[in-house]
């Protein structure tokens, strides 16, 4: 009996330890090899080959691999290369359009000037609340752009400026909150983070220059380990991307299950959609979100690691989350960090200090309802340009409900007492994970990116999942 227990325990341990991609970075021989010239070339060549999966042009993949090779063999120039290469790329891409190039470089310069101002006058009003000033200024710019006469020169300049500011705003914001960290000897890394070489969405991967300085590999052994982790992550990204293609091909191509927006549109038009089909496309949408964000995040972070920075993954085992807050943390880490850094902490540290629960809820709503809404409204500035500010806000109504529901779920999740979780596989693991997945599957009904459905239409669709019709 004891032997049986032991063998089942060891099987469980072995299963828990199993990795589809082995943990090569923990093997001393591999780490030693990765520090040799041959090892480095092998790693870089493998990474370059892997990169071709995502970068269809082999010359571009080769260019990025060469840049990585420079940084690997001459780490003392890493910051300089990271700062200069993206600017050179921007200049090469848009030198035929001097106005756009000028605006792009002007926004970068603005970021550096603002950063310098926070360092120079830390006690000023701006130095105390630089991000608040930045976001207020950005909002004012959007309002000015809305007020400009359509098709005039000022109109196109202002909207181009809004576009560039949107690309840089959160990168600049990270530079500004880095003011309280140890002063840097040079600003090259600050400049590098405004336009990361490894790519990024409007969310900074992985945060700002102060964070990069903390996670940078400082010796050849550490660099080898970090690069091996980068290589593994790229392999994982490719595997997931292949799986994603098969998934879409099977479910939406072969089985013809509609995308959630299509199902919602059909429902709004009065075209009957079978009950099970509505559920299927919602469940698929949940997994597709995870897959999409995983592939994107892994691509960026794998490159970042190859460049010598041991950044955490953006998506890390989200399906192992047993609480709503844990899933939020694991699903899209750097977006969550953005909301936490710029909205949650500033609110939490200032307001309702004597009321523990209230301050948590208040700060969570500030982060998710205000922060998330602001982020997405401004990110999709083309809607504002096309429809005007008021109509764009009205078009965002379903997303407001999404954010409110998410904020409520996250607040409840945080308020539930620590240490009183049920144990056992079913009650401690399976049931909570199912609950978390169900919550997000339902809440993403309101998260349509197309902005074409009202709250009432979306609510009706949600209710129809439970056979409720009105």
Partner 1 sequence: MKGKQEIHEFVQSLLTGNGDNGSLADDDSLLISGRLQSVDAVEIVVFLEENFGIDFAQIGFDRDQIDSIDAIYALVEAATNRN
Nearest-approach distance from CB 6 to partner 1, in angstroms: 20
Of positions 46, 201, 360, 408, contacts partner 1 by CB under 8 A: 360
Q: Where are the alpha helices (DSSP H) in 95-179?
A: 98-120, 125-128, 130-147, 153-177
Which run of H or E residues covers position 193? helix 188-194
> In sequence order, which residues have a C-beta less than 8 Å from that of residue 116 and are 6 or more positions away?
none
> In sequence order, which residues have a C-beta less than 8 Å from that of residue 19 and are 6 or more positions away?
none
Nearest-approach distance from CB 180 to partner 1, in angstroms: 5
CB 88 within 8 A of CB 108: no
Nearest-approach distance from CB 212 to partner 1, in angstroms: 11
Q: One symbol per residue from 160 to 199: x for binding partner 1 (CB under 8 A), - otherwise; what is it?
A: --------------------xxx-----------------
Q: Should residue 418 be labelled a site residue for partner 1 when binding is judged by CB under 8 A?
A: yes
**Region from 57-65, 211-219, 244-252, 272-280 binding partner 1, contact rule CB under 8 A:** 211-219
Nearest-approach distance from CB 414 to partner 1, in angstroms: 6
CB-nearer residue toward partner 1: 313 or 376 = 313
CB 179 within 8 A of CB 116: no
CB-nearer residue toward partner 1: 149 or 218 = 218
Question: Residue 186 — φ and ψ, nearest 5°?
Answer: -140, 165
Q: Residues 47, 48, 54, 56: what is their CA dihedral angle, to the nearest 10 degrees? A: -170
Q: Should residue 56 be labelled a site residue for partner 1 when binding is judged by CB under 8 A?
A: no
CB-nearer residue toward partner 1: 44 or 368 = 368
Q: Should residue 150 be labelled a site residue for partner 1 when binding is judged by CB under 8 A?
A: no
Q: Should residue 340 be labelled a site residue for partner 1 when binding is judged by CB under 8 A?
A: yes
**Which parts of 213-232 interact with partner 1 (CB under 8 A)?**
214-215
**Bridge partner residues of 216 (DSSP):** 309
Nearest-approach distance from CB 325 to partner 1, in angstroms: 6
- How far is Cα of residue 286 from the mean position of the Cα atoms in its chain? 16
For 26, counting Cβ atoms within 10 Å of its Cβ (0-12 exposed, 13-18 middle, 19+ buried), the class is: exposed
> In sequence order, which residues have a C-beta less than 8 Å from that of residue 430 and are 6 or more positions away?
none
The C-alpha atoms of residue 170 and residue 288 are separated, in whole angstroms, by: 26
**Which parts of 375-414 interact with partner 1 (CB under 8 A)?**
414
**Region from 29-37, 100-108, 241-249, 346-354 binding partner 1, contact rule CB under 8 A:** 346-354
Of positions 109, 143, 349, 394, contacts partner 1 by CB under 8 A: 349
The C-alpha atoms of residue 335 and residue 410 are separated, in whole angstroms, by: 15
Of positions 344, 362, 383, 402, contacts partner 1 by CB under 8 A: 344
> In sequence order, which residues have a C-beta less than 8 Å from that of residue 48 and are 6 or more positions away?
61, 62, 64, 65, 68
Q: Should residue 26 be labelled a site residue for partner 1 when binding is judged by CB under 8 A?
A: no
**Region from 159-167, 186-194, 295-303, 347-355 binding partner 1, contact rule CB under 8 A:** 347-355
Token code pair at residue 447: 């998260």
CB-nearer residue toward partner 1: 260 or 432 = 432
Of positions 314, 336, 342, 384, contacts partner 1 by CB under 8 A: 336
Counting residues that bind partner 1 (by CB under 8 A) gives 24
DSSP state of 24: G
The C-alpha atoms of residue 117 and residue 176 are separated, in whole angstroms, by: 9
Of positions 325, 369, 406, 436, contacts partner 1 by CB under 8 A: 325
CB-nearer residue toward partner 1: 252 or 359 = 359
CB 72 within 8 A of CB 40: yes
Using CB under 8 A, list all residues that contact partner 1: 180-182, 210-211, 214-215, 312, 325, 329, 336-337, 340, 344-345, 348-350, 353, 356, 360, 414, 418-419
């Amino acid at each position: 009996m004891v032997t049986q227990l032991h063998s089942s325990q060891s099987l469980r341990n072995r299963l828990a330890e199993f990795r589809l991609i082995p943990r090569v970075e923990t093997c001393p021989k591999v780490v030693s090899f990765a520090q040799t010239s041959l090892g480095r070339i092998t790693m870089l060549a493998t990474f370059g080959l892997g990169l071709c999966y995502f970068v269809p042009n082999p010359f571009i993949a080769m260019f990025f691999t060469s840049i990585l090779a420079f940084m690997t063999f001459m780490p003392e120039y890493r910051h300089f290369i990271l700062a200069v290469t993206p600017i050179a790329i921007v200049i090469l891409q848009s030198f035929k359009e001097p106005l756009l190039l000028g605006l792009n470089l002007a926004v970068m310069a603005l970021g550096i000037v603002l950063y310098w101002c926070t360092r120079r006058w830390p006690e000023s009003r701006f130095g105390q609340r630089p991000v608040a000033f930045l976001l207020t200024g950005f909002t004012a710019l959007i309002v000015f752009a809305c007020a400009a006469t359509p098709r005039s020169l000022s109109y196109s300049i202002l909207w181009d400026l809004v576009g560039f500011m949107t690309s840089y705003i959160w990168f600049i914001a990270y530079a500004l909150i880095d003011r309280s960290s140890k002063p840097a000897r040079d600003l090259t890394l600050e400049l590098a983070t405004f336009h990361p070489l490894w790519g990024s969405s409007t969310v900074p991967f992985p945060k700002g220059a102060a964070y990069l300085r903390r996670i940078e590999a400082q010796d050849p052994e550490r660099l080898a380990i970090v690069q091996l982790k980068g290589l593994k992550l790229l392999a994982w990204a490719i595997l997931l991307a292949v799986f994603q293609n098969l998934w879409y091909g099977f479910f939406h191509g072969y089985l013809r299950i509609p995308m959630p927006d299509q199902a919602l549109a059909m429902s709004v038009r009065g075209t009957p959609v079978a009950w099970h089909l509505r559920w299927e496309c919602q469940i698929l949408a949940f997994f597709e979100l995870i897959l999409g964000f995983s592939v994107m995040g892994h691509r960026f972070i794998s490159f970042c690691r190859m460049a010598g920075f041991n950044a955490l993954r953006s998506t890390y085992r989200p399906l192992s989350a047993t609480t709503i807050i844990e899933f939020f943390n694991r699903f899209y880490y750097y977006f969550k960090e953005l909301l936490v850094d710029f909205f949650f902490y500033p609110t939490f540290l200032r307001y309702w200090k004597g009321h523990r629960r209230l301050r948590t809820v208040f700060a969570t709503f500030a982060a998710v309802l205000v922060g998330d809404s602001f982020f997405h409204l401004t990110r999709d500035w083309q809607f504002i340009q096309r429809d005007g500010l008021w109509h764009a806000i009205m078009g965002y109504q379903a997303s407001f409900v999404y954010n409110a529901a998410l904020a409520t779920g996250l607040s409840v999740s945080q308020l539930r007492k620590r240490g009183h979780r049920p144990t056992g596989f079913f009650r401690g693991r399976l049931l909570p994970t199912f609950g978390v997945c169900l919550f997000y599957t339902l809440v993403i009904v309101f998260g349509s990116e197309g902005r074409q459905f009202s709250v009432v239409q979306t609510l009706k669709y949600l209710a129809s999942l439970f056979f409720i019709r009105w």
